[in-house]
Amino acid sequence: MIVHDTALFPLVKNMFNLTNDKDALAKLNEDPNLRETLSCLLNEYTVDSKNGKIKGLANSTNFSNSL
């Protein structure tokens, strides 16, 4: 699945405490490894839907639901 930059904006904004999409895009353009790493993680742990929006976890067995 191809991950568009707009799908990565919320992750980048949370990781770097940014407030707008322009700064998130600048951070993604600044470090190509960041874009590649986040895209790979999204591809591995999410399932895409027919409309191109991220639907949910592909394999939840790696995560614990209990505290």
* DSSP per-residue codes, 4-64: PHHHHHHHHHHHHT--SHHHHHHHHHH-HHHHHHHHHHHHHHEEE-TTSSEEEES-GGGS-
Domain range for 27: 5-48
Let me know if residue 31 belongs to a domain. Answer: yes
Q: How confident is the model at residue 8 (pLDDT cuts 50, 70, 90)?
A: confident
Residue 2 pLDDT: 58
Token pair in block for residue 54: 């991220």
43 against 22, higher pLDDT: 22
Residue 19 pLDDT: 92
Let me know if residue 67 belongs to a domain. Answer: no
Q: How many CB atoms lie within 10 A of CB 23?
A: 15
Q: What residues contact residue 31 under an 8 Å CB cut-off, 6+ apart?
A: none
Residue 47 pLDDT: 61
Q: Read off the pTM.
A: 0.61
Q: How confident is the model at residue 42 (pLDDT cuts 50, 70, 90)?
A: confident
Q: How many CB atoms lie within 10 A of CB 12?
A: 21
How many domains does the chain fold into?
Answer: 1
User: Is the pLDDT at 15 greater than 80, yes or no?
Assistant: yes
